[in-house]
Structure 1
């Protein structure tokens, strides 16, 4: 009959050697949380900035398809009304 103490010691040693994917999952979780925070910062950093704001004393930029009833020249004599 085999010695139970030796078998128990052998099984305990094998069980202690097999830790599982715990460290890998911790690293994946940490990297994904840091990546999500950086992605949120990158996407949200422009929300407070208004790129279309005009500077005082500056004439607004005319968009390519932005024409008024006065025509493309902008003179009052070209009014169609």
Structure 2
């Protein structure tokens, strides 16, 4: 079985997984999660509320 520590200890691997570098904060990942969450909530609300309209 291959040694997983040899791969995870590589600096490029930790750079890929890093959310932020320095004191910049979480940045793009957190922004993406928040935008997708807000759009998802709006879509869910539209989907659930569309059935309450008058049916002619």
TM-score by length of 1: 0.37
Once the two structures are superposed, what CA deviation does each residue of 1:26-75 show, in whole Å capped at 9, x if it has no partner? 0000000000000000000000145xx8xxxxxxxxxxxxxxxxxxxxxx
Structure 1 residue runs of 5 or longer lacking an equivalent are 1-16, 54-81
RMSD: 1.8
Structure 2 residue runs of 5 or longer lacking an equivalent are 1-20
Q: After superposition, where does 1:1-81 map in structure 2 within 5 Å? A: 17-18=21-22, 19-50=24-55
Instruction: Looking at secondary structure, tell me which structure has more helix per residue.
Output: 2
Q: Spell out structure 1 runs of 4+ moving beyond 2 A.
A: 17-20
TM-score by length of 2: 0.52
Paired residues, what number?
35
User: Which structure has the larger Rg?
Assistant: 1
